[in-house]
Amino acid sequence: MSNCPVLWLSKSERLSEEVKKCIVHKRLSDYIATSLLKFNHTTQNKFADAIIKYELKSVKKGRFLFREFIKAYEVNPEQYTTVESLEELANEIKGVKKVLSTRHL
């Protein structure tokens, strides 16, 4: 137990300031933040924002949504450079179907 603060301190030094703030304000868990450690600060911030905004902190049918989101992103990061593309990926992970309307306004 005495190593826990030391381990967390070494991890926290590799987290972006934005991610640290999200942990302090309880918008992200330590578990999710730990999953972001392998990324640079810009990518950590992008993932943190998406995980919070698109509600990927939950578990659905035994699946950690944020993990699936990160794994899918890693397959082809160049594909997800816009907010819209990240939102599409998040919706795909959550199982939200995209519906196109043919109705004209």
Separation between Cα atoms, residue 8 and residue 47, nearest integer Å:
20
Q: What is the rounded average pLDDT of the residues 16-40? A: 92
Separation between Cα atoms, residue 70 and residue 89, nearest integer Å:
10
The per-residue pLDDT for range 39-93, each reduced to its tens digit, is 999 999 999 999 999 999 988 877 899 999 999 999 999 999 898 999 999 999 9
pLDDT of residue 2: 45
pLDDT of residue 59: 82
User: For the chain, which residues make up each domain, given as ranges?
Assistant: 4-94
Separation between Cα atoms, residue 86 and residue 49, nearest integer Å:
10
